[in-house]
Structure 1
């Protein structure tokens, strides 16, 4: 495929980006705000125990994701097609989300709620491996950053819209629709099936309109053997690229901090500052809006000063705002600190992908991005594990949340030693595209 050829039609490109809108709703509504908060306040015996149990569920699912993602990704590469894997993982997310309807507000629902959440989380996190792998086949190389950015923005928007629907359509209304009973939390539990429907509806266009790679027509056993061998070559080969390896380690740490921040932000707001569920949802909406604004605004900073400096600015700002969020006592001050946190989350995420594109050798770009995906998940269990352990050890959510700052700080220090190559192809993004 030449660099000027578009593999997908405009409709296929939009359908690919729409999947980000689809799956981001799960992480915003269930993984971060509504169900995380509902679990700690209504199902667990107390907020501290609920925070720890939710953290252990995330830890378990993160370990599974870290093991399964690179292996299944390599096998899918050998087999050629991505859509069957993407469909199976998305279906897992749909089933797990729908099952959360059974999460009744009592301690008897603790374990099956955690299992259903972990099932959906594993499915949708692993689905992202195959979804991201489709990007080079959706647009030419010089449009990948733009396409990826648009999809990222749609993800923020999808999470925000879904939170608004949850807040004003179910949680905050005096009389819930469809005869839902507030006394048994049906107006909150219905969010699980709602997310399942959201995932289904907005994923369908990708499967219908976005092209997939042709099958390699390999027997399954051969595809598995070739995939495992390719993964070994990738892992061993990265040792020859010290700058990329150093960056992958730095990214692994601060990405873990970002993931933990999103997973426990709502729980912290509710437990420490006494926010009601509807306030937590509004807080989540504000974070999505500010993160989207930050990602959009700092795109110019990335172009002007480079992705490494953009990430450094974002991490230093996250440390400052995060420390403020831990020290403030009033709810109003926490709103200010939390909103500032959101502004710098988007740039940290968006510029990370841009820096990896510069560091990756041209002939190993796909393999390097595979390791980039792994670096975002390999230690994802550490953040929730340390947070949950610190929360229980000190009987304090503030102590637990403080562990996130350590991930930002260590990742920042390592990033300072990464040498960013010059942007040799900075102007190609403005070249006209011919079909």
Structure 2
């Protein structure tokens, strides 16, 4: 069997278009890896907020604000993009917004006290909102590229390539951090440079997407933004016709809430609970990305063979194990086991969720339905990290209880996965 079988692609789709599409995953993964997970999250808590008891909560509050903005706007933006066949144009604007806001994070160490905290939070809100728009829009291209039988493979290629991009950005940043630390330079010196590196990689790599990925959709109406809102309201009224998709959204809210905890708080947990230092944390996240890349790529083939639903269920069981292990281990070596399993589960669960969305989305409403999927993932990103931060605060800083509580999100996600009938959902999508 060929590694990239032509049968996975829709008629007329060339492999270079898939490469261009995957390059966006490559481009934007550095943002989540460096800014949200490995570098800026820990620096915000320990450097800008000076380790204050409310620091982790402030970090999750900034992220939650950005997700709330996306929840309220992305479905309508997706509906508008479907009507105008403008997914690519909006993707370009979202990319520019995220790149510039990420680069602007480089100035935050120059401010102190409340001004520094406020500026950092504001820039995280802006950059993460634009990042989320881009993630949703690039996902909406997937059903235009892949056949129903190849959705898992193509989604897996993108996620796997994305983690390679995350490793590249993190690797360059890690090299600079180690060089700076060897010369006794403080975090206030090397963190800004890592933000500029991340922004540059994002912007440059995304150019390949803009050149190679065509907009295959055709405009359906020369309408205004009001038409997008009307279309969105019609979709909500028809929700019962897409009950399997709606079950998927409910499942996504729960399990992605747990994944969001891993993405946004892994570095903080590793440093404050397990005792990692900044360079060790970056190596940990680097290895986690290797595991996630392998998980996304390999599991894409497994997913198309055994089915989307069974594949996602397997990853949720793995996530439950991660939460339990992370809560009980006391050594760095033990935490490495949890991180490795988390990496494999992260790549496969995120790839599976995107492929299931593409499988159940009506072909004429791809950006809109991926906008609804983004609504669910961003609601999850509010529920998960805020719950973690609140539990940590209420238990006097006990992050072990908080991470163990996160397992509940994956258990509920597993339960909500059970009613989904993929074939029934696919038939409903094709009747549109």
TM-score bin (small chain): 0.7 to 0.9
Aligned to 1:127: 134
Contact 2:82 2:365 in 1 (8 A): no
Aligned pairs for 1:376-391 within 5 A: 376-391=377-392
Aligned to 1:188: 191
For residues 297 and 211 of structure 2, the distance between their equivalents in structure 1, rounded to whole angstroms, comes to 29
Structure 2 residue 92 is matched with structure 1 residue 87: yes
Equivalent in 192, 206, 209 of residue 209 of structure 2: 206
Contact 1:383 1:403 in 2 (8 A): no
Please report how far the alpha carbon of residue 143 of structure 1 lies from its aligned counterpart in structure 2 after TM superposition: 4.9
Which ranges in structure 1 are unaligned for 5 or more consecutive residues?
A: 426-435
For residues 313 and 32 of structure 2, the distance between their equivalents in structure 1, rounded to whole angstroms, comes to 26
Structure 2 residue 174 is matched with structure 1 residue 173: no
Contact 2:360 2:426 in 1 (8 A): no
Deviates most, 252-261 or 91-100: 252-261
Structure 2 residue 115 is matched with structure 1 residue 112: no
Q: Tell me the SS of whatever aligns to 1:182.
A: coil
1:358-401 CA deviation, whole Å, 9 max, x = no partner? Answer: 55577877754443333222343122221221121112222333
Please report how far the alpha carbon of residue 423 of structure 1 lies from its aligned counterpart in structure 2 after TM superposition: 12
Aligned pairs for 1:15-54 within 5 A: 15-46=20-51, 48-54=53-59
For residues 276 and 42 of structure 1, the distance between their equivalents in structure 2, rounded to whole angstroms, comes to 13
Contact 1:56 1:385 in 2 (8 A): yes
- Cα root mean square deviation, aligned: 2.8
Deviates most, 409-418 or 70-79: 409-418
Q: Tell me the SS of whatever aligns to 2:381.
A: coil
1:91-117 CA deviation, whole Å, 9 max, x = no partner? Answer: 111111111111217434111011112
Q: Tell me the SS of whatever aligns to 1:329.
A: coil
Aligned pairs for 1:17-416 within 5 A: 17-46=22-51, 48-104=53-109, 106-107=112-113, 108-138=115-145, 143-168=150-175, 170-174=176-180, 182-183=185-186, 185-213=188-216, 216=219, 222-359=223-360, 368-395=369-396, 396-416=398-418
Contact 1:6 1:140 in 2 (8 A): no
For residues 363 and 39 of structure 1, the distance between their equivalents in structure 2, rounded to whole angstroms, comes to 42
- C-alpha distance 337-213 of structure 1, shift in aligned 2 (>3 A): closer
Contact 2:74 2:371 in 1 (8 A): no
Q: Tell me the SS of whatever aligns to 1:118.
A: helix
- C-alpha distance 193-354 of structure 1, shift in aligned 2 (>3 A): closer
- C-alpha distance 302-264 of structure 1, shift in aligned 2 (>3 A): same
1:252-301 CA deviation, whole Å, 9 max, x = no partner? Answer: 21112112221111111011112111111011011111112222333344
Contact 1:30 1:192 in 2 (8 A): yes
1:45-104 CA deviation, whole Å, 9 max, x = no partner? Answer: 216422111111111111011111111111111122222211111111111111111121
- C-alpha distance 355-75 of structure 1, shift in aligned 2 (>3 A): closer
- C-alpha distance 88-370 of structure 1, shift in aligned 2 (>3 A): closer
For residues 318 and 153 of structure 1, the distance between their equivalents in structure 2, rounded to whole angstroms, comes to 19
- C-alpha distance 423-21 of structure 1, shift in aligned 2 (>3 A): same
TM-score w.r.t. length of structure 2: 0.88
For residues 243 and 426 of structure 2, the distance between their equivalents in structure 1, rounded to whole angstroms, comes to 20
For residues 91 and 65 of structure 1, the distance between their equivalents in structure 2, rounded to whole angstroms, comes to 16
For residues 385 and 191 of structure 1, the distance between their equivalents in structure 2, rounded to whole angstroms, comes to 26
Please report how far the alpha carbon of residue 317 of structure 1 lies from its aligned counterpart in structure 2 after TM superposition: 1.7
Q: Tell me the SS of whatever aligns to 1:246.
A: helix
For residues 255 and 14 of structure 1, the distance between their equivalents in structure 2, rounded to whole angstroms, comes to 26
For residues 315 and 140 of structure 1, the distance between their equivalents in structure 2, rounded to whole angstroms, comes to 25
